[in-house]
Amino acid sequence: MKNAGTPPSAVAAAAAGPGPAAHQGAAAHGDGGTRHAVARLLLQRGPITAAAVAEELGLSPTAVRRHLDVLVAEGEAYTRESSPRGRRGRGRPAKLFLLTEVGRARFGHAYDDLAVAALRFIAEHDGEHAVREFAERRMAALVANHREVLTAGSDPADRAEALADALTREGYAATTRKVASGEQLCQHHCPVAHVAADFPQLCEAETAAFAEVLGTHVQRLATIANGDVACTTHVPDARVARPSNPNSAGDDRRETAPIPDGGEPV
C-alpha cells in the first residue's frame, strides 16, 4: 500500500512558508493519497463497511466517510446493503462500499489490446456482421441487468435518469442534464473507449440499445472514442419524441442544437 501521508513536495512547500497556497497544496496532496488508499482497500477487501475501512487504515470514521462520499459522487464506488445473514442486532443494515469499473481503472489494466486483437480475429474469420452481433449482445446483456428499473418510468426523462444510474454502476460515470428540447445523457468515462476507437460497432450498438430501453429516438452527439470529452446522447422531450428505430438512432441531427467543438456537453 502506498504511503498515505503528505508527499515530500507538499512538505517542502509548507517549509517554505505558511502561506495559504502552501497549506492548500499540502491538503490536496494528502487527500489524494488517502483517497487512493481508501480506494485500494475497496479493491482488495470490498464489499466493505466504512467502519472497517477506518479501522484498517487507522483513520477517523468521519474522514473515511468523506473520502467514500467523493468516490461515490465521482462514480468510482457504489453502495449496497449488507445481507440479513451478516447483520447484528435490529439496527439499520450496514452500508457496504464497492468499486465500480471506473474506480478499478485508477489501478490500471491491460485488457484493451486483448479485446482489440480478439475483435480483429472475429472480423477476419467471421466478417464485420459478427463484430456487430457481438456488440449488440454485449449491450443486450448490460440492459438486461437493469431492465426492471430502466422501464419502471414512462417518461423518457425519467428513464434517462435511471439509465444514467445504471451506466454509472457499470463504470460509465453517467449523468443527465436538462436542455431545451429534452435531456442530455453524458457518459464521462467509457471502459471500452480504446476498443471502440477501432470498432465503432460498439458505439452504434450502445446508441441503439439506449433508444430501445428509453422507448424513443435518441441522437448520439459525441463519443470519447472519437476524441470528445464525453459520450453525449440527446434524449428528446416526451412531447417531441418519436418511436425508437434502432436502425436510425443517432442519424438525425436536426432535432437538437449542436454542441461546442471538443464534444463538451451543453
What is the residue range of 231's domain?
111-236
Q: Distance between CA atoms of 128 and 19, rounded to whole angstroms?
A: 61
Answer yes or no: is 262 within a domain: no
Same domain, 122 and 142: yes
Joined together, the cell numbers standing for residue 261 give 467543438
- pTM over cut 0.75: no
Summarize pLDDT for 206-263 with one digit per residue, the tens.
Answer: 999 999 999 999 999 999 999 898 999 999 987 655 554 444 454 443 334 444 444 4
Q: Distance between CA atoms of 221 and 186, rounded to whole angstroms?
A: 10
Summarize pLDDT for 126-164 with one digit per residue, the tens.
Answer: 999 999 999 999 999 999 999 999 988 888 889 999 999
Same domain, 58 and 170: no
Answer yes or no: is 15 within a domain: yes
Contacts of 79 (CB under 8 A, 6+ apart): 72, 95, 96, 97, 98
Contacts of 58 (CB under 8 A, 6+ apart): none
Q: What is the pLDDT, as a whole number, of residue 107?
A: 78
Summarize pLDDT for 48-82 with one digit per residue, the tens.
Answer: 999 999 999 999 999 999 999 999 999 999 998 87
Same domain, 126 and 90: no
- Of the three residues 105, 124, 149, the one that is the final residue of a domain is 105
Summarize pLDDT for 95-105 with one digit per residue, the tens.
Answer: 999 988 788 87
Give the torsion sign (CA, 206, 210, 211, 217). negative
Answer yes or no: is 204 within a domain: yes
- Of the three residues 105, 125, 146, the one that is the final residue of a domain is 105
Same domain, 45 and 122: no
Answer yes or no: is 227 within a domain: yes
Domains held by the chain: number: 2
Contacts of 199 (CB under 8 A, 6+ apart): 116, 119, 131, 135
Q: How many CA atoms lie within 13 A of 55 on its CB side?
A: 6
Same domain, 141 and 156: yes
Question: Position of cell 487504515?
Answer: 57
Summarize pLDDT for 187-216 with one digit per residue, the tens.
Answer: 998 889 889 999 999 999 999 999 999 999
The enclosing domain of 68 has a CATH number of: 1.10.10.10
